[in-house]
Amino acid sequence: MSESKDFLRLKVEEDLKSGKYKEVITRFPPEPNGFPHIGHAKSICINFGIARDYKGHCNLRMDDTNPTTEDMRYVEALKDAVTWLGFEWADKVYFASDYFPKIYDYAVQLIKMGKAYVDSLNEEEIREYRGTVTEPGRRSKFAERSIEENLDLLERMKKGEFKDGEHVLRAKIDMSAANMKMRDPLLYRIRHAHHFRTKDEWCIYPMYDFAHCLSDYIEGVTHSICTLEFENNRDIYDWVLDELELKLPRPYQHEFARLGMNYTVMSKRKLLELVNGNYVSGWDDPRLPTIAGYKRRGYTPESIINFCDQIGIAKANSMVDVAQLEFCIRDDLNPKVPRVMCVLEPLKVTIENYEGEEEIDASYYPHDVPKEGSRKLPFSREIYIERDDFMENPPADYYRLTPSQSVRLKHAYILTCKEVVKDANGTIIEIKAEYHPDSKSGSDTSGIKTKSAIHWVSAKHAKQAEVRLYERLYKIDAPEGLEDLNPDSLHVIKNAFVEPAVISEKPDVRFQFERQGYFYADPIDYTDEKPVFNKIVGLKESWSKKAEATENAPKSVAHKVAHVEGEVVPMSEAEKALFEKYTKVLGLNSEIANTLARDEQLAHFYEETLLHVNSPVSVANIVANEVAREFKQEMELKFSAKEIAELVAMMDEGTISNKIAKQVFEEMAKTGENPKTIVEAKGLTQISDPEKLKPLIDEVIAKNPENVAKFKAGNTNLFSFFVGQVLKNSGGKANPSVVNALVAEKLK
Ligand code: ATP
Ligand code: MG
């Protein structure tokens, strides 16, 4: 358990201490209408975690009150997820449907108490009678029915005498309650549908608000923990249990913030759409945020639990960066998994001065990992290296093999290129090279300096494998629909080569492929004849995030397939000094400082820009990301350091928003125009004048009356929706902080 306790644990402790409950009983109550996702993992960790911490128990309960969407297959997936995450439910899996008879009895009891009635308004009338946030509702005339008539109608509803929607059972509470949910909420509806467990026994089904609190009560749950969107339902929860005068102790509902994550979707409805539409291979597609997807991709339960721990439990909704989850899996695997070599896009190298073959004893772990183990690594005359580890005409910062630059073969010898062999089209098909016999790793006396070590496999000994590389499923951080899917989220490499040690009889194996990332033997498709590996995650946060910003960037760069992360080369003294200065004096974060310090060209550009504008952090961000990308892609930059300084100055003064700055930069890089000219010509100046912003806000508010009502009824999460809409409608030009203040005032 973490040091500082979250508000839920504090509440549980308080309740145990005061003697309100003797034992903590929680429940995880999913609806079995889809596979669980990482948001459910958070809920599982909270509910089962609290039960474990306080020696109580947690029930796994299927909230199966909606017959049309549920299925036993989803029940199995939910059980799998809980077990995989390392939790155990008490005795058996519970089902709300097992309580249908009891829940029905409670409904009868409410009618007898004069607290529920059968209403015969249709759906539309019910909505109309409910009123709005600003107007009270009206009660239906059917609320006057006598107890006898209500009892008779409910029974006949149960017997199947009526059609769907003909009648409903409602609680008689208050049609002018400020909380709209309390305006005579529905308790039962008619649904002639086959239920996957109760079959055709019932044709009336209890609504969530009626079934949930009673299921909790029946199971003796103490703390009913759910997500914030149920905050307004809490009043009904309490009303039902109080009015029925159920004996104490009874459960109470507590809400926490739902987990949202960027670059993905989390609702089961949207996930189902992806699965049914074959946009992914199934619920366990490794690109999905489902537990089954993470499991198949190679995530460990520990990494997911750590992630849920790290993001904490809060009362305010927020969006978590998927990079944080990726950090957790890297952090978990880094000390655990053996490092081996795999070549994704092979280029043959013939080592002309090498005869025969040998086996190198190569350790699986680097020195700083407290783990031992090694394998025999075959070396021979013909090897494969990664195609992009050789360049004939390299840029200045290229550290790998070139016609004039030697490179170390990891665990083996230093290699020098002698000849580049090309086919008729000019494509390089082979390198003829020489090795240096006195340069073997660990006993190198050659005195030859190299700037990096590359991975390789012996051609004769390597085994062919299929490698599946995954990118984010969506191309934008807050995807809305299918149109936002990333068309390049899956890349299959059929002819990768792995060293023999990678071939394993055991299932459930993970490796670090040196310089490529972490990989997992696909639990379904892997066979001895055809090994298949899934990329779990890269070695460090990759470029893809930046590449995606430029849709017109050349394909080779934006969607670079075998993105090889270079071996970390130690910094030179000069680079170290720069790094120190950037982090300590200029206040840059270490990642950005590292990028700049290690690249002479970038560092120079950065410092030159600073001569024109004193804004070290903003300039560093632009130079290390956008400018660096241009350096990589273009022979010649179309903009100068001075112009970047002007762009940053406009951002700092608030003339343009950060979002617009990115757009201006793209334009500068493309056309070579001056940033001020671009901003003026395109009318991109940030709008901070409240008088200009107010009409935009009014428009958004007028267009979304339902959301305004929800907001006023207490769904404060919608605040960011309104702000977001205004920013969007302004084409990104509105000043976000001004919009925030104005929207807050408007909705007050
Ligand atoms: P979805 O909208 O994704 O279909 P749901 O809330 O309808 O999810 P349920 O199966 O009803 O899914 O949820 C089971 C439990 O998991 C509930 O207690 C719910 O609050 C919780 N839960 C669902 N999504 C999240 C999330 N994103 N973050 C935290 N908890 C979640
Ligand atoms: Mg739901």
Give the tens place of pLDDT for each residue, 33-69.
Answer: 999 999 999 999 999 999 999 999 999 999 999 999 9
Q: How far is the CA of 43 from the centre of ligand 1 (A)?
A: 7
Per the rule left: phi > 0, alpha: psi between -120 and 50, beta: everything else, 563 is: beta
Q: Whose CA is nearest to atom 1 of ligand 1?
A: 267
Pocket lining: 318 vs ligand 1, CB cutoff 6 Å: no
Q: What pLDDT does 652 receive?
A: 85
| Closest atom, ligand 1, to C-alpha of 44 | 16
- What is the arithmetic mean of pLDDT over 120-129? 96
Confidence of residue 535 (pLDDT cuts 50, 70, 90): very high
Position with higher pLDDT, 500 vs 567: 500
Cβ distance 171 to 238 under 8 Å?
no
Amino acid at 60: L
Closest by alpha carbon to 446, among 456, 435, 438?
438
Nearest-angstrom CA–CA distance, 435 and 416? 6
**Whose atoms come closest to the Cα of 258: which ligand?**
1
Position with higher pLDDT, 583 vs 449: 449
Confidence of residue 313 (pLDDT cuts 50, 70, 90): confident
Active centre residues (catalytic) = 31, 258, 268
Nearest-angstrom CA–CA distance, 252 and 140? 31
- What is the arithmetic mean of pLDDT over 107-124? 98
Calculated CA dihedral for residues 441, 445, 449, 452, nearest 10 degrees: 0
Nearest-angstrom CA–CA distance, 466 and 693? 54
| Closest atom, ligand 1, to C-alpha of 47 | 18
Dihedral sign from CA coordinates of 592, 593, 594, 597:
positive
Q: How far is the CA of 88 from the centre of ligand 1 (A)?
A: 19
Q: What pLDDT does 730 receive?
A: 87
Closest by alpha carbon to 45, among 215, 256, 237?
256
Cβ distance 46 to 85 under 8 Å?
no
pTM, two decimals, is 0.74
Pocket lining: 227 vs ligand 1, CB cutoff 6 Å: yes
Q: What would you report as the CA-atom Rg of the chain, rounded to the nearest whole angstrom? A: 31
User: Quick one: CATH architecture of 113-208?
Assistant: Alpha-Beta Complex (3.90)
Pocket lining: 308 vs ligand 1, CB cutoff 6 Å: no
Q: What pLDDT does 564 receive?
A: 41
Pocket lining: 509 vs ligand 1, CB cutoff 6 Å: no
Cβ distance 429 to 387 under 8 Å?
no
What average pLDDT does the chain have?
91
- What is the arithmetic mean of pLDDT over 585-606? 88
Amino acid at 566: G
Note the CATH number of domain 690-746: 1.10.10.410
pLDDT tens per residue across span 604-659: 999 999 999 988 989 998 999 889 888 887 778 899 999 999 999 998 888 888 88
Pocket lining: 33 vs ligand 1, CB cutoff 6 Å: no
Nearest-angstrom CA–CA distance, 151 and 454? 79
- What is the arithmetic mean of pLDDT over 71-94? 96
Q: What pLDDT does 568 receive?
A: 57
Amino acid at 610: L
The position carrying tokens 């339960």 is 301
Nearest-angstrom CA–CA distance, 599 and 575? 8
Pocket lining: 289 vs ligand 1, CB cutoff 6 Å: no
Nearest-angstrom CA–CA distance, 186 and 173? 11
**Whose atoms come closest to the Cα of 38: which ligand?**
1
Res. 543: pLDDT tops 50: no
Q: What pLDDT does 489 receive?
A: 96
Confidence of residue 737 (pLDDT cuts 50, 70, 90): confident
Q: What pLDDT does 594 receive?
A: 86
Mutation to probe ligand 1, out of 63, 223, 227 (largest number of atoms < 8 A from CB):
227
Alpha helices, DSSP H, located in 512-657: 544-549, 555-558, 573-580, 590-597, 600-610, 616-622, 628-633, 641-653
Res. 563: pLDDT tops 80: no
- CATH among 2.60.40.180, 2.40.420.20, 3.40.50.300, 2.40.240.10 for 262-304+314-333+464-498+507-539: 2.40.240.10
| Closest atom, ligand 1, to C-alpha of 227 | 20
Res. 278: pLDDT tops 50: yes
Count the alpha carbons within 13 Å of 699 in the hemisphere toward its beta carbon.
11
Number of other residues whose CB lies within 10 A of the CB of residue 635: 6
Res. 717: pLDDT tops 80: no
**Whose atoms come closest to the Cα of 226: which ligand?**
1
Q: What angle do CA 616, 617, 619 make, to 5 degrees?
A: 70
Nearest-angstrom CA–CA distance, 248 and 523? 49
Nearest-angstrom CA–CA distance, 47 and 712? 30
Name the least confident of 310-319, 499-508, 552-561.
552-561
Q: Are 346-462 and 690-746 equal in CATH topology?
A: no
pLDDT tens per residue across span 363-420: 999 988 888 999 999 999 999 999 999 999 999 889 999 999 999 999 999 999 999 9
Count the alpha carbons within 13 Å of 454 in the hemisphere toward its beta carbon.
29
Amino acid at 418: K
Q: What pLDDT does 630 receive?
A: 86
- What is the arithmetic mean of pLDDT over 16-31? 97
Q: How far is the CA of 199 from the centre of ligand 2 (A)?
A: 21
Confidence of residue 128 (pLDDT cuts 50, 70, 90): very high
Amino acid at 337: V
Percent of the chain residues topping a pLDDT of 70: 96
* DSSP annotation of 358: E
Q: Helices 590-597 and 573-580: crossing angle, nearest 10°?
A: 140
Nearest-angstrom CA–CA distance, 244 and 356? 86
Percent helix, percent strand, percent coil in the chain, to nearest 5:
40, 20, 40
Confidence of residue 675 (pLDDT cuts 50, 70, 90): very high
pLDDT tens per residue across span 339-376: 999 999 999 999 999 999 999 999 999 988 888 999 99
Strand-strand pairing, 414-422 and 490-498: unpaired
Grouping H, G, I as helix, E, B as strand and the rest as coil, residue 414 is strand
- CATH among 3.10.180.10, 2.40.30.170, 1.10.10.10, 2.40.240.10 for 346-462: 2.40.240.10
- What is the arithmetic mean of pLDDT over 2-26? 92
Pocket lining: 223 vs ligand 1, CB cutoff 6 Å: no
- Cis geometry, peptide bond prior to residue 249 (ω within 30 degrees of 0): yes
Structural domain boundaries of the chain? 113-208, 262-304+314-333+464-498+507-539, 346-462, 550-637, 690-746
- SS3 string, 437-460, reads HHHCCCCCCCCCCCCCEECEEECC
Nearest-angstrom CA–CA distance, 408 and 453? 4
| Closest atom, ligand 1, to C-alpha of 266 | 3
Pocket lining: 266 vs ligand 1, CB cutoff 6 Å: yes
Name the least confident of 20-29, 158-167, 481-490, 500-509.
500-509
Task: Spell out where 228-309 has E strands.
Answer: 252-256, 259-261
